[in-house]
Structure 1
Amino acid sequence: MSQAFNAEAQQSRLEERAGMALELARQLGADACEVGASVDQGLGVSVRLGEIETVELSRDQGIAVTVYVGNRKGNASSSDAGDASIRAVVEKAISIARYTGEDPASGLADAALMATELPDLDLHHPWALSTDQAVELALRCESAGRDQAGITNSEGASLSSSEVVTVYANSHGFLGSKRGTRHSLSCLLIGGSGDGMQRDHDFTTARKASDLATPESVGVSAAERTLSRLGGQRPKTGRFPVLLAPDMARGLVGNLLNSIAGGALYRESSFLCDQLGETLFPEWFTLGEHPREVGGMASAAFDGDGVATRDNVFIDRGRLASYMLAAYSARRLGLQTTGNAGGARNVRIQAPTSSLEQLMQQMGTGVMVTEMMGQGLNPVTGDYSRGAAGFWVENGRISHPVEEFTVAGNLREMFSGLQGVGDDIDRRGSIQTGSWLIDSMTIAGQ
């Protein structure tokens, strides 16, 4: 796949196309212009019950042009990067701009903020994987899981490998390109029978194929997670300590980041509006991003505005130290961009950590949450309520699985009630954290 794709040639082509769009926009009267272009190729296979279900080879491309005529903005896009298509996209964007309302906050980010150093962040690791090899890996994964006693059915295993090239350019003269890869393998299994059936999954993902977990370990882990849920009961209703598994804690970090993002702030749709400097977490908790981390899953030397990325500290020893701003949202708020057009990148927590066993001992009796359902968050008030499943913990030890209950609280109270962070860090995504122990939440069960 990597040889046929030829990422270097694709990058050169996209850079040339972006330059053409910028020049056309200038000729047609735009005061400023920015162009984003990308092309990606991927292989995906899925198997179920030892048989091939799907094989998908994909290649997608696109180019998007945004022009500014005074304080008026217009944008248009196409999946075709040919000469005629680019001209049509630029003409359409300019036509739209002439009819939109004026917005004093619109426009490119300041030229002085453009990234000038574009280091190699080690993000591009193509996998010379044939379809037959991909199918074999997926079959090995599912087979290892199905071989575990108690597994009665399977929803299959899937493997995907993708390679992408992206280019961003603007009329400040900035041109930035990125090449990246992402490979993943997952398995979803079913255990038990009748009304007592349960399902769960596990996965591995990495930029380098050599960093993936083995197919067998993913399948066995998916089986173990599934079997551990058999015999689930509804917990009793009340207020209890809650221990969030790493992937559940990652969701809370995502809620925090969404609440300090510029778009939510200038629309006044966040419970953290006008809260800079306020204490949200315990003093021992710090959270920030490292966008130039070598090999990181979200690493980038420039953001979606072409602004140089930098390390940002959002929570500093418990205090809200910075919002997360792109150029537009920063202007709306009368602040400076933080280089976060496109979101936070490689979010990490600095805090003393404890083992999962220590956190369970600390909580005593309560609920460990390993799965949540629904989107029960009011971003304006921070009120939080979601369906959940997991395990009942009694006297510091797992007693039995629990299901069909709701956890509820308020994000501000949940953040301030953080009692500990686990050393069981899930490193598979951009946001990396261990388990979180929260002092008290409302459990609605039986």
Structure 2
Amino acid sequence: MEFTLKPDLNELQTELVDVKQAVAEALDYGKSLGSTAMECALTRSRGISVETRLGEVETVEFNQDGALGITLYQGQQKGSASTTDLSPQAIRASVEKAFDIARFTSPDPDAGLAPAELMAYQRPDLDLCQPGDQSADYALAQALQCERHALGLDQRIVNSDGASYSSHVGYRVYGNSHGFLDGYLQSRHAMSCSLIAKHGDAMQRDYAYTVARATGDLNSPEAVAEEAVHETVSRLEARKIDTAKVPVIFRADVANSLFGHFVGAISGGNLYRKSSFLLDHLGKAVLPEWLSIKETPHLKGALASSPFDHEGVATENRTIVENGELQSYLLTSYAARKMHMKPTGHAGGIHTWQVTQQQQSLQELCRTMGTGLLVTELMGQGVNLVNGDYSRGAAGFWVEAGEIQYPVEEITIAGNLRDMLANIVAIGNDTDMRHGVRTGSVLLESMRVAGN
């Protein structure tokens, strides 16, 4: 892809056709060598990323990356190779390397392609590519305007960690020896601003960001700046709190991490290794009875939409949890064979989860909670998916009588994920659309909060 001020969709489509032809030739060559099965995948992205700080340009980076990954099977023996060079000679050399490597690997009875009947032979158009202006002038103007606006809004904002803007377009192509070969274009644009506020001798840092497939769906530089200022200033005069067991709200922008652990717990890799606290929970209650999760992979323009997974398996609307009961694991073809089940189209991740919400704003959730902790930031990685133990650093706000009283910091929240998920009291209507899990703020019955 050549760098242009704004990528042309027709040119991208032409390049996509050329790459698909290169993949087809690789598959044909692998077959001629005597492979019993083969798959090729390429995800390529190109675009611009800029960073500014205090009105000065820090970085301007044009990047283009992506390699063709080749996996070849000789029976149950597997060999892999990759190349960034898509010339016929380089592709043939990589196929030969994969073929040679396969000769020396141990047979794995569960290795192989996903079943042919699950391929996405009829692909919906999900409108995942909306190119934007990728000129340095435009990108820098967005970042500079965002930071400039933020620095002029509140005297307590004394410094900046910078603003950034990025715009990328690309494509994903996948083909295998079942005869499946397809690809689609995609784009991603983002802007962020990170600030430092001061009160007395104490300083606080926070940020805001926006991300979308289309630049027209991004929040304006001014809106990002105003959110960043609000988030940063609101953390000033933070206090420590006494250790207690209290209700906790995960604000929407961090609540997705709670369901992210749930994703890990029902993913095939952890299940067949018996390293999940939700092992053997299919058909059992894992969430409150009122709560359901639906996967909707074909929403047009959504950040986590995809017509097929990384193995070519067609994605489809799927019920993950129905009235609190787990209805589906998340299985690649390898995990499915290990577990004697059917692949679910989740090689590479999930595809836009819709979590049940209730018609309560964050403020109303605070009133429902009464007294407790509103978490707005999580730190550390103290999560054990084997037994569900959960312990992470946190910051946020102390709530009393349903109203936010003051910011808090230097605390740890702890519990067990099995209990935390089962004891969700309510989910707000402030759905965060920037993640693969679309959820509002989550009110938990109680957690241990360690402070002073």
Letter in 2 for 1:17: A
- More deviation in 355-364 or 395-404? 355-364
Which position in structure 1 is the counterpart of 2:51? 46
Alignment-derived partner of residue 113 in structure 2? 108
Residue number in structure 1 paired with 2:144: 139
Matches within 5 A, 1:22-421: 22-149=27-154, 150-192=156-198, 195-421=201-427
Per the normalisation by structure 1, the TM-score is: 0.98
Task: Determine the C-alpha separation between the residues in 1 that align with 2:377 and 2:239.
Answer: 15
Contact 2:256–2:435 (CA<8 Å) still a contact in 1? no
Residue 354 of structure 1: SS of its match in structure 2?
coil
- Work out the percentage of aligned pairs sharing the same amino acid: 45
**Higher mean C-alpha displacement, 4-13 vs 258-267:** 4-13
Q: CA RMSD in A?
A: 1.2
Residue 4 of structure 1 and its aligned partner are, at CA, apart by 7.1
For the 8 Å contact 1:10–1:165, the answer to whether it is kept is: no
| 3-state secondary structure, aligned to 2:438 | coil
Instruction: Report deviation, 1:193.
Output: 5.5
Q: CA offset at residue 436 of structure 1?
A: 0.2
Q: Which amino acid aligns with 2:304?
A: A
Measure, in 1, the Cα distance between the counterparts of 2:384 and 2:233. 34
C-alpha contact (below 8 Å) 1:284/1:352 kept by paired residues: no
CA contact (8 A) 1:151 1:223 kept: yes
Q: Distance in 2 between matches of 1:351 and 1:39?
A: 36
Matched positions, count: 446
Distance (whole Å) between structure 2 residues aligned to residue 378 and residue 48 of structure 1 = 38
Q: Which amino acid aligns with 1:421?
A: I
CA contact 2:378–2:393 (8 Å) conserved in 1: yes
**Residue range with higher mean Cα deviation, 155-164 or 93-102:** 93-102
Paired with 2:22 and 2:302, the residues of 1 have a C-alpha distance of: 28
Q: 1-side partners of 2:15 and 2:395: how far apart?
A: 46
Deviation (angstroms), 1:67: 0.7
Give the whole-Å Cα distance in 1 for the aligned partners of 2:179 and 2:298.
22
**Aligned equivalents of 2:43, 2:354: Cα separation in 1:** 28
**Cα offset, 1:321, TM superposition:** 1.1
Classify 1:59/1:194 alpha carbon distance in 2 versus 1 (closer, same or farther; 3 Å). farther
In 1, distance between residues paired with 2:436 and 2:263?
12
Could you tell me which runs of 5 or more consecutive residues in structure 2 were left unpaired when the two chains were aligned. Answer: none
| Deviation of 1:288 (Å) | 2.2
Which amino acid letter does the alignment assign opposite residue 400 of structure 2? Answer: E
Following TM superposition, by how much is the alpha carbon of 1:350 offset from its aligned partner in structure 2, in angstroms? 2.3
Whichever residue aligns with residue 258 of structure 1, its letter is G
Report the residue type matching 1:26 in the other structure. K
* 2:354 alignment partner AA: R
Moved more, 340-349 or 154-163: 340-349
User: Deviation at 1:343?
Assistant: 1.3
Give the whole-Å Cα distance in 2 for the aligned partners of 1:221 and 1:352.
25
Q: Distance between the aligned counterparts of 1:247 and 1:58, measured in 2?
A: 29
